[in-house]
Structure 1
Amino acid sequence: MSGEPIPAPPGPWCPDPMRQQRADYTVEDLLNLPDDAPRVELVDGIIQVTPSPTLGHQDISFLVRLWLHSHAPSDLRVTQAVCVGFGFNTSRQPDVLLYRAEVPSDRSMLRPADVVLAVEIVSPGTRRIDRFAKPGEYAAAGIPFYWRIEQDPVHVYAYRVGDRVGPGGERQYELVADGADVIELTEPFEIKLPIAEITP
């Protein structure tokens, strides 16, 4: 019998601690993550593992995608949880995205100019990010429309980039509509969304 230790199988993927300290991850690194990597976002060169969504979150996300797919004009497409790159060292994964139809289908990362609407469904673990950080980043990058959807009860807040400018000179979102019964908008297309249709 050999006294050699049995090698332990490798554990799940996690970010390299040294690279995290140096904050030198890039969006290119995200495109080369292994298949077993968790869902991540990249903020200023630091990989952030995003919390696993709840079933309720996923149900709302699916219903929003289905509704947009059924109602959006043909020059727009809808998808879920695809990365949007903001420069070389930051990317986010909105829960639902409405993007321009001419974007090639083999792309695994979108540019802000490709995106018309970013949707975030707020969960307990992502409240501050979805309410403050992400809309600031999306507006500054030029994504024209943002929806924040609160749960329990489902309530939609619809924003568009306005004329207001932040302290750093970046454009900011302004609230154009909100509701727990129905949302009516003229942009990015004529929308009359009964909230019951996206409520699980």
Structure 2
Amino acid sequence: MTAMTPTHGGPWTEEEFLALGEDNERTELFDGDLHMTASPTPWHQHVTTELLVALRAPVRARDLRIHAAVNLRLTPARIVIPDLTITTAIDFEQRIVPGSCARLVCEVTSPSNAATDLVLKMHYYAEAGIPWYLIVEHKAMTLRLLQLQRGTYVEHLTAEPGGVLRMSEPVTAEIRPESLLPEH
């Protein structure tokens, strides 16, 4: 569900966006417009955390970094918050991570905003030249690793429950979709 955006005349600048400060909502900047969503569900957060834990050692082995829900600048008018981002070295004191540092972005889709992750953000990430996009599909619990080729993402690997996603880029890892699920 998208929340009400603050009243503002004209497009938002990066400086105005940053002046909003931190809050409990995910506020992103899409071409000068604010896009606000409530915090993800516990299920969504659990899957994201388990994925971060699964990728942590492989990321470190490649001298990369992994981050949950950071502000990622794709352009000055586009600042998004991927669920996970694998980057090269960054300045940990800055509130914004340059998109040029991103090697992989990951989105865990939610029923309320799957189209944003599967269409709009996919387009934004491709335009920014981010080489890898990992999508965790909520309903099917399918992992899809997409690779940027000639400006568009193409499916590189897929794993459904019972299978294994065997990544070799940007890190070497094996992830079983069901291992990300909460225990009942």
Tell me the TM-score normalized by structure 1. 0.82
Whether contact under 8 Å (1:27, 1:85) holds in the other structure is: no
Q: Equivalences for 1:54-133 in 2 at 5 Å?
A: 54-72=41-59, 73-100=61-88, 102-133=89-120
After TM superposition, the runs of 4+ consecutive aligned structure 1 residues lying more than 3 A away are 34-37
Report the counterpart of residue 169 of structure 2 in structure 1.
187
112-121 vs 184-193, which moves further: 184-193
State the identity %.
Answer: 24
Q: Equivalences for 1:158-173 in 2 at 5 Å?
A: 158-163=145-150, 171-173=151-153
**TM-superposition CA deviations, 1:84-118 (whole Å, max 9, x none):** 11222111100011111x21211211111111110
Asked whether 1:139 is paired with 2:121, we answer: no
Helix, strand or coil at the partner of 2:112? helix
Amino acid at match of 1:77: R
Q: How far off is 1:74 after superposition?
A: 4.5
Asked whether 1:45 is paired with 2:25, we answer: no
Aligned residues: 177
Q: How far off is 1:136 after superposition?
A: 1.0
Report the counterpart of residue 179 of structure 2 in structure 1.
197
Structure 1 unaligned blocks of 5 or more: 1-13, 164-170
User: What is the root-mean-square deviation in Å for CA atoms of aligned residues?
Assistant: 1.8
Helix, strand or coil at the partner of 2:126? helix
Equivalent of residue 17 in structure 1, options 7, 16, 21: 7
Tell me the TM-score normalized by structure 2. 0.88
CA–CA distance in 1 between the matches of 2:170 and 2:109?
22
CA–CA distance in 2 between the matches of 1:157 and 1:42?
25
Whether contact under 8 Å (1:51, 1:125) holds in the other structure is: no
Report the counterpart of residue 155 of structure 2 in structure 1.
175
Whether contact under 8 Å (1:26, 1:90) holds in the other structure is: no
Equivalent of residue 141 in structure 2, options 146, 149, 154: 154
Helix, strand or coil at the partner of 2:117? helix
